[in-house]
Each structure stands twice: as C-alpha cells, then as structure tokens.
Amino acid sequence: MKIAIIGAAGRMGQMLVKLAGEDSGLEIGAKVDVAPGFDATWPAGTEAVVDFTFHSAVPANVEKAASEGVAYVIGTTGLTQEEQARVDACAAKIPVVQAANYSLGVNLLMGLVKKAAAVLGPEYDIEIAEMHHRHKKDAPSGTALMLAHAAADGRRVDLDEVACYGRNGIVGERPEGQIALHALRGGSVVGDHSVIFAGDVERVELTHKAQGREAFAAGALHAAKWAVGKRPGKYTMQDVLGFTE
C-alpha cells in the first residue's frame, strides 16, 4: 500500500518514516515537509496520507486528498474551529481518521475514564493533568481534551459547561461537577496524562505514560491501512480498534 507522510522531517514524521520503512506492507511514496530536501507533495497513486504537521497546514492538504479520493489520517492537534469545519466537510468524500492520540493504551484509558466518571459521580472531583516536552505548541494537549470529553460523556454533561482550564488568583471554591485540565511543559517528556477522581475519603488516579513516539506512529500507520477502502466519513482510533462496535 502506497502512503505519503506529511511532516516527515518532524519528531513524529521521522518515527513514521522509520516504522513504515520496516513494514513490508507499506511503500512510502512521498516524504512531504516544508523543510529543505523533502517532497513538496504526494504523487498520483498514493492511497493514504498520514499527517503530523501543524494545525494551519491540515485543511488544504485534506481538501487536496478529498479531490483525489485519497484516505487521510490526521495526527496533528490544535486545529481551530474553522480548520476543523473544513476537515469535517472533506469527510463527505473520503475516509478521514482523526485522533489526538493513536496509542492503544490511551484509547483503552478513554473507556476506563468514561466508566469511572459514570460510576463515581459528581461528588468525586475530576482533575486532568498532562505533561509534555518543552517544544509542544498547543495546550492543553489534544489527548487531555479527549479524556475530558470521555469523563463528561460518562457523567452525561456538556464539557463546555463544566470545563476549567487552569487556575490563577482568587478563584473561589471548586464548584461540584467541574472538570479541570492542567498543562505542564518541560524537558523531553513524550506525553503523560493523569485523570484524578478525588472524593472525600479516597482518590482514584488513572495514568498513562508514553515511553516513546513509536506507540503513536504504529497506531497511525495501522489506521492508514484500515482506512483505505472504507466508506467516506469521520473515524476515530476507537473505530479503528473496534472499540465502538
């Protein structure tokens, strides 16, 4: 299967190139990046594009893929609402897989968080803490947002109505039902996420720590193979892993 990797010069892109190169079922048709020495775009015959770039770069590339009927896998996070709307429109023409985290462990964690939020109820305060390397440009991480949505789903509430993004100053007492997100940045941390359910007499903490970028890259390549031949539509890693069946 012929794929193109966009953002091939980046941290994730280099890992994707390495893993795809080792996979006999995949042929890298293009290594696309704005960095010197890389391809400017992908050639005809490309079956799937895997995108780990920058949010503003995503819509134009998905639109090009949609006009060519090429499946698209988005790992890039931090898209604005307008950028996301352009991506969503393309899903009428091609299969688009989009996940803020392609690792098996985090996708399992999402299910556990949803279940815990449903069982423990609003008297358990939910705090989400994430830590990433100092180069990460968006905050909170797309994965932390996914986990916050999973917790809100478990509680059957709208995240927008209960979310709190960090605290500073005289913020007053914590309201019941709030779901708070906190972003830590530093060093070379690949990606840590903890969801804490703090009750009066006990605390439950669910934590995932990525030990390398391989888990994300392997998941994204798995998603690319899965997406080719699928009907047009928006899919998540939960669909790819069969967790939604």
Using CB under 6 A, list all residues that contact ligand NAD. 6-7, 9-13, 32-35, 52-54, 57, 75-78, 99-102, 216
209-238 burial: b if 16+ Cβ within 10 Å, else e: ebeebebbbbbbbbbbbbbeeeeeeebbbb
Q: Closest approach of Cβ 74 to ligand NAD, in Å?
A: 8
74, burial (CB in 10 Å: exposed 0-12, middle 13-18, buried 19+): buried
Q: Closest approach of Cβ 79 to ligand NAD, in Å?
A: 9
84, burial (CB in 10 Å: exposed 0-12, middle 13-18, buried 19+): middle
Give the residue with the Cβ less far from ligand NAD, 24 or 211.
Answer: 211
| Identity at 206, one-letter amino acid code | L
The tokens of 221 are what?
A: 């390549």
Query: What count of Cα atoms within 13 Å lies in the side-chain half-sphere of residue 50?
Result: 35
> Which backbone phi and psi does 34 adopt, to 5 degrees?
-80, -10
Give the residue with the Cβ less far from ligand NAD, 199 or 212.
Answer: 212
Give the residue with the Cβ less far from ligand NAD, 47 or 130.
Answer: 130
Q: Closest approach of Cβ 204 to ligand NAD, in Å?
A: 25
Q: Closest approach of Cβ 100 to ligand NAD, in Å?
A: 5
Give the residue with the Cβ less far from ligand NAD, 35 or 118.
Answer: 35
CB-CB contact of 38 with 61 (8 Å): no
Give the residue with the Cβ less far from ligand NAD, 75 or 154.
Answer: 75
Tell me which residue has its CB nearest to ligand NAD.
10
Residues classed as catalytic: 132, 136
Q: Closest approach of Cβ 82 to ligand NAD, in Å?
A: 17
Give the C-alpha distances (Å, rounded to integers) separating 129 from 23, 107, 159, 214. 35, 17, 16, 22
Give the C-alpha distances (Å, rounded to integers) separating 229 from 69, 224, 241. 10, 10, 16
